[in-house]
Each structure stands twice: as structure tokens, then as C-alpha cells.
Structure 1
Amino acid sequence: MSYQNAYDGYHAVNLDTQTSRASPVELVLLLTDGLLDELARARAHIVARRYEQKAISIDKCLEIINGLSGSLDFEGGGDTVTNLARVYEFCANHLHRAGIKLDPAMVDEVTRVLSTIRQGWKGIQDRNG
């Protein structure tokens, strides 16, 4: 077994452990943290001109964004949820264009927006224990 396979196995078990006992807010934070990590990889792939890896990273990011958006409670969330859905849609569209234009600054903008959203979720977690 290679080092990378061992690391991937450990990471999968660790993630399973974290998600099995996480609250909904903690799950959003875990997903957002993973998304931010993958955005950094996508940006690095653009800068290094590793286009195949860039495409894979952007696809992973889009899957996470779509998962976050798809889990929103539109019936109970009101305007806040509607606005959050719009922000996720902006991020997905902007990231898609960043991949086409090969523009790391566009990835940076998505990262800033999602980091702000993460801070909001973290504030909710801190207030609710």
C-alpha cells in the first residue's frame, strides 16, 4: 500500500467519524472546509497549468457547492435561505467561468465569498454551542 493510499484511507475513516456525530451546522462547516481546501488546489492547478487536475478540482468544488445549495430548507428558511442559494449559484457560475478563463483571481473571489459564509456558520455554531 502506498503512502497516498494509506493517507486516503485514514482521511476517509476520520471524515466518517466526524460526520457520524456532527450537527447540521458542523456538517456545513466540514463541507465548507473541504470546499475551501479544494478551491486552493484548483487555483494552484490553474497557476501551474495542470489543466486536467484543474478540471477535476473544479468539478469537486461544484459538487460540494451543489450539495450545500441542495440541502437548503427553502420552506422554513425565508429570505436568508433564498439569498444564500443565490450566493451559492453565483459561486458555482463564477467558478465555472474561472475554469474556462483560467483565471486564479476569479477563484480567489469565490474563496473570499465562501470564507465569509463559513464565518457566518461558525458564528452560529459558537452561539449555539
Structure 2
Amino acid sequence: MFDESGLDAYRHTQIEARAAAAEPHKLVLMLIEGLLDELARVEGHIQAKQFDRKATSITKCLDILSGLDTALDRENGGALAEDLHRLYDFCGRQLFDVSVSNEVAGLSIVYKVLGDLKEGWESMTAA
């Protein structure tokens, strides 16, 4: 059986391989899915009062949001790019508030925003 660090390394390698082969819109979808998975970990860590792990998971979430935001072409992307920038910023501020308050209820709006974004990206890949 894998120890936790070995399993994490395996997952990381698997994710890197998928990302290297992904088209840009699929990569965005992968990042959103990863962000949703990490949000679930944040929630679990808060409920278990594992605040050191919560902090690590919040940092991962913020890193993913930053990556998504950095990838936006705000100069040429028009209103869509600006709207996504505002949504990513909102989610980051919400996560900061959750990190300070340790109130999982604050995650519900982040789940909603990201779930809606995921649905939109999925519809693009199906088209």
C-alpha cells in the first residue's frame, strides 16, 4: 500500500501527464475540477479542525485561482475576460474570509460560482 506521500506523488504525476496532453479549454476544465476537489478538502479540514491542512488547501485553491486569472487575456478578451477576473477575485476573497473565520458556510458561494463555470466549460467541450 502507498504511504500518503507516495500516493500524492503518483497523483501529481498523473495530473501533470493529463495537463501536458490537454487542449487549453480542457486544461481550464481540469483546473476548475481540481479547485472543486481542493475546496472539498478545505471543508473537511475545517470540520476535522485540522487547521494546518486547511491552510495548505486554501493556499492550493488560491494558487489555482491565480493560475486561471493569469491565463486570461484581459487586453483582448473583452467583457468575458473581465467578468472571469472578477469572479476569480471574488472567490479568492471568499476563501480568505473562510480561512480566517473557519466557517464552511462561506464555501457555498464559491462552490456555486465554480460549479457554474465548470458547467459552462463542459458545454464548450461538448460543442
SS at the partner of 2:76? helix
**CA shift for structure 1 position 117:** 0.6
Cα distance between partner residues in 2 of 1:5 and 1:56: 15
Deviation readout 1:50-83 (Å, 9 max, x if unpaired)? 1111111111100110110111011221001101
Q: CA RMSD in A?
A: 1.4
Partner of 1:101: 101
Partner of 1:56: 56
Cα distance between partner residues in 1 of 2:46 and 2:62: 16
Aligned length: 127
Q: Tell me which moved more, 5-14 or 86-95.
A: 5-14
Aligned sequence identity (%): 37
SS at the partner of 1:76? coil
- Runs (5+) with no aligned partner, structure 1: none
- Runs (5+) with no aligned partner, structure 2: none
**CA shift for structure 1 position 21:** 1.2
Asked whether 1:43 is paired with 2:35, we answer no
Asked whether 1:87 is paired with 2:66, we answer no
Runs of 4+ displaced beyond 6 Å:
none
CA shift in 2, pair 1:5/1:101, >3 Å: closer
Deviation readout 1:4-38 (Å, 9 max, x if unpaired)? 23322321221122111101111101111111000
SS at the partner of 1:66? helix
